[in-house]
C-alpha cells in the first residue's frame, strides 16, 4: 500500500479514517518534534542529509534517497502489508486467527513489551547525539543520521501501537517515552544498556553491530506475535534495522582494515607503536567487543524465565523464525540447554524449552554476532596477520542471569574476586584505552576525506561514490 504523504503524519494505516486516533497522534507529534530538537543529533538543524525515506512499504518503494533536513524527515506509521488470513503460529492459541485487537488478558504484558521496545529507540538517539561533532567522514555522518532518524521512526511505530490499542494508558506511555532520558539519574531509560554513554565512534559501531542486533532478534521474535498489528509493525522495522547493523559491521571492518594496513606497512604488531601511528590496535578492538557483547547479552534477560514462557505460551512473542521451525510450536515436553555455575564449575543443564526461551534467542543472536566476527577475521587473515577476534564466554562480565554472582574469564574459567581485579583490565576497555580512542575523535567533514583510523568504505550509499557529498552543511 502506498504511503500517504499529503497527511500531517505519513501513514499506510488509513489514519484519516480514525479521527480520534489521528487527533491523539497529531497531539503527540509536536512533543516528538520538541524531543527531537532537544535530544536529537547536536547542531544538525540546517544540514541537508542524503537520507533514505520510505515512500511505500513495498520492496521497490521504501528506499528512496534524497537530501532532507532531519527535522523535515517524514516520520510516520508504516506497517508491512497484511497477510490475509494470518493465524497465530505458536503457543496455546495456535491455529486461531491472529488478533487484530489486544486480548484483555494480555493487555498489560503487551503494553510492557511495546513500551520496553519503544523506549530503546529514543534512548539510542540520545546516546548518540554528540557523535556528529566528531564524525570520521561525511559518509559516516550520513550513516549516523540515517540510523538516528530511523530510530525516531521506530519510536513512532511503537507509539502508534500504544495509541491505537491501549487507550488512555497508551497515551500516557507515549508521553513518558518522550520524558525519560538516557543516563538521567531521576528519569532514566528502562534498560541499563541504554543508559550507557556512546562516547566515541568505536562504541557507536560496536553498538550498532552488537546492540542493534539484539534489536533485530527482539523485533524478529515480536514479528511472530499473534497480535497482528505488532507483527506487521515489527516486520517493517526489521527492514530498516538491517541498515544499522550494516553501519556497525562495516564500520568495525573498516577500522580493522586500516589497522591491518598500518601493521603491514610498518611491520609491527606493537600496540604502542600502532597508537603512535594514530590507529586502533586490534587488542583494544577486542576489549570493546568484549564489553559491548557482554552488556548486550544481559538484554536478553535471565536464562530461565517464566515471563518468557508465558509470553510464548500466550502467543505474544515467538521464537526467531518461528514459522520456519518444524516442531509442535508449543514446546510441550522439549528441553533446551543452558549453563550454570555449580560447585565452582560451569555445567550444562537442561530446562523445559518453554522457560529457556530467553537463552534460545540469545543463542540465535550469538551465532549471528559470531558470523559477523568471522567476517572481520578475514581481514587480518588476508593481510597475513595472526590476530583473530573471538567472542568471550557467555558468562563473561554479566550483570543479569545465572552468572551475575560469578567472575568468568573470556575463556570460561571461574575466577576469584582477586584474580578478576588483577586481570579484567586486559579484557575490558580501561580508562586509558577509552581516553586513547577519544583522542582520535576529530571531525572530518571535507567530502572524500576519512579520519586516519578508519578506511574508506568499499561501496558508497545507494551506489554513490565514497566521496559523494552525503551531508551539506549550508
Partner 1 sequence: MNAPAELKRQHLIDPEICIRCNTCEEACPVDAVTHDSRNYVVKVELCNFCNDCISPCPTGAIDNWRRVAQPFSLEQQFSWDSLPPDSSPEVAGEGELPAEVQRITDIATQGQGGPTAPPWSAAHPYLNLYTLAKPAVASVSGNYRLTAPDTSSEIHHIVLDFGATAFPVLEGQSLGVIPPGMDASGKPHHVRLYSIASPRDGERPGYNNLALTAKRVTSDRDGKPVRGIASNYLCDLKKGDQVNVVGPYGASFLMPNHPGSSIMMICSGTGSAPMRAMTERRRRRMGLKEGGELWLFFGARTPGELPYCGPLLKLPQELIDVNLAFSRQPDQPKQYVQDLIRARGGDIARLLKDENAYIYICGLKAMEAGVNEAFADVCRNHGMDWAGVLPELKAASRYHVETY
Q: Which residues bind partner 1 (CB under 8 A)?
A: 55, 59-64, 66, 216, 238-239, 241-243, 245-246, 249-250, 367-368, 371-372, 375, 378, 458-459, 462-463
CB nearer partner 1, residue 174 or residue 248: 248
Shortest distance, CB of residue 368 to partner 1, whole angstroms?
7
Shortest distance, CB of residue 199 to partner 1, whole angstroms?
25
Shortest distance, CB of residue 81 to partner 1, whole angstroms?
12
Q: Are 422 and 431 in contact (CB under 8 A)?
A: no
CB nearer partner 1, residue 245 or residue 440: 245
Beta strands 48-53 and 471-472 are antiparallel
CB nearer partner 1, residue 213 or residue 360: 213
CB nearer partner 1, residue 55 or residue 133: 55
Shortest distance, CB of residue 29 to partner 1, whole angstroms?
23
Q: What are phi and psi of 99, to 5 degrees?
A: -75, 135
| Maximal C-alpha separation, the chain | 68
CA nearest neighbour of 43 among 152, 146, 147, 134: 134
CB nearer partner 1, residue 266 or residue 375: 375
Shortest distance, CB of residue 462 to partner 1, whole angstroms?
8
CA nearest neighbour of 274 among 163, 433, 97: 433
CA nearest neighbour of 471 among 194, 26, 69: 69
Shortest distance, CB of residue 249 to partner 1, whole angstroms?
5
Shortest distance, CB of residue 245 to partner 1, whole angstroms?
6
CB nearer partner 1, residue 115 or residue 223: 223
Shortest distance, CB of residue 215 to partner 1, whole angstroms?
12
CB nearer partner 1, residue 347 or residue 367: 367
The three three-digit cell numbers of residue 71, written as one number: 527535522
CB nearer partner 1, residue 247 or residue 316: 247
Question: Which sign, positive or negative, has the C-alpha torsion 432, 436, 439, 441?
Answer: negative
Shortest distance, CB of residue 180 to partner 1, whole angstroms?
29
CB nearer partner 1, residue 326 or residue 463: 463
Q: Are 62 and 5 in contact (CB under 8 A)?
A: no
Shortest distance, CB of residue 63 to partner 1, whole angstroms?
4
CB nearer partner 1, residue 213 or residue 434: 213
CB nearer partner 1, residue 269 or residue 363: 363
Count of other CB atoms within 10 angstroms of residue 273 = 15
Shortest distance, CB of residue 296 to partner 1, whole angstroms?
17
Q: Are 341 and 395 in contact (CB under 8 A)?
A: yes
Amino acid at each position: 500500500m502506498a504511503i500517504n504523504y499529503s497527511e500531517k503524519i505519513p501513514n499506510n494505516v488509513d489514519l484519516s479514517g480514525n479521527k480520534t486516533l489521528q487527533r491523539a497522534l497529531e497531539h503527540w507529534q509536536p512533543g516528538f518534534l520538541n524531543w527531537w530538537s532537544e535530544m536529537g543529533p547536536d547542531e544538525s538543524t540546517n544540514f541537508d542529509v542524503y537520507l533514505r525515506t520510505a515512500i511505500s512499504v513495498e520492496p521497490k518503494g521504501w528506499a528512496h534517497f534524497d537530501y532532507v533536513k532531519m527535522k523535515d524527515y517524514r516520520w510516520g506509521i508504516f506497517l508491512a502489508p497484511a497477510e490475509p488470513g494470518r493465524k497465530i503460529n505458536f503457543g496455546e492459541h495456535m491455529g486461531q486467527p491472529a488478533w487484530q485487537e489486544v486480548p484483555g488478558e494480555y493487555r498489560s504484558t503487551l503494553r510492557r513489551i511495546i513500551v520496553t521496545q519503544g523506549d530503546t529507540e529514543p534512548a539510542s538517539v540520545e546516546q548518540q547525539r554528540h557523535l556528529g561533532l566528531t564524525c570520521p567522514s561525511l559518509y559516516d555522518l550520513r550513516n549516523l543520521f540515517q540510523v538516528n532518524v530511523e530510530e525516531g521512526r521506530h519510536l513512532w511505530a511503537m507509539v502508534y501501537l500504544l495509541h491505537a490499542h491501549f487507550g488512555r494508558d497508551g497515551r500516557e506511555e507515549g508521553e513518558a517515552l518522550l520524558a525519560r532520558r538516557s543516563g538521567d539519574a531521576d528519569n532514566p531509560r528502562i534498560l541499563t544498556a541504554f543508559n550507557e554513554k556512546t562516547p566515541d565512534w568505536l562504541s557507536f559501531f560496536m553498538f550498532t553491530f552488537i546492540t542493534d542486533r539484539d534489536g533485530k532478534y527482539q523485533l524478529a521474535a515480536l514479528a511472530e506475535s499473534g497480535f497482528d498489528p505488532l507483527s506487521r509493525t515489527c516486520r517493517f522495522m526489521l527492514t530498516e534495522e538491517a541498515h544499522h547493523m550494516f553501519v556497525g559491521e562495516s564500520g568495525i571492518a573498516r577500522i580493522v582494515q586500516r589497522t591491518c594496513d598500518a601493521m603491514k606497512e610498518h611491520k609491527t604488531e606493537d600496540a604502542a607503536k600502532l597508537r603512535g601511528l594514530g590507529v586502533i590496535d586490534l587488542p583494544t578492538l577486542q576489549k570493546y567487543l568484549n564489553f559491548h557483547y557482554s552488556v548486550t547479552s544481559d538484554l536478553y534477560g535471565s536464562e530461565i524465565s517464566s515471563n518468557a514462557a508465558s509470553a510464548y505460551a500466550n502467543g505474544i512473542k515467538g521464537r526467531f523464525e518461528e514459522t520456519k521451525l518444524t516442531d509442535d510450536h508449543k514446546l510441550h515436553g522439549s528441553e533446551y540447554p543452558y549453563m550454570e555455575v555449580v560447585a565452582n564449575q560451569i555445567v550444562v543443564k537442561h530446562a523445559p524449552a518453554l522457560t529457556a526461551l530467553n537463552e534460545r534467542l540469545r543463542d540465535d543472536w550469538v551465532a549471528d554476532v559470531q558470523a559477523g566476527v568471522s567476517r572481520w577475521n578475514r581481514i587480518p587473515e588476508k593481510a597475513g596477520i595472526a590476530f583473530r577476534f573471538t567472542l568471550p564466554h557467555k558468562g563473561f562480565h554479566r550483570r543479569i542471569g545465572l552468572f551475575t554472582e560469578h567472575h568468568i574469564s573470556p575463556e570460561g574459567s571461574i575466577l576469584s574476586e582477586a584474580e578478576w581485579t588483577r586481570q579484567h583490565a586486559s579484557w575490558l576497555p580501561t580508562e586509558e584505552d577509552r581516553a586513547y580512542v577519544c583522542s582520535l575523535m576529530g571531525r572530518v567533514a571535507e567530502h572524500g576525506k576519512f579520519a586516519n583510523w578508519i578506511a574508506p568504505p568499499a561501496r558508497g550509499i545507494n551506489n554513490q561514490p565514497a566521496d559523494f557529498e552525503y551531508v551539506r552543511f549550508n
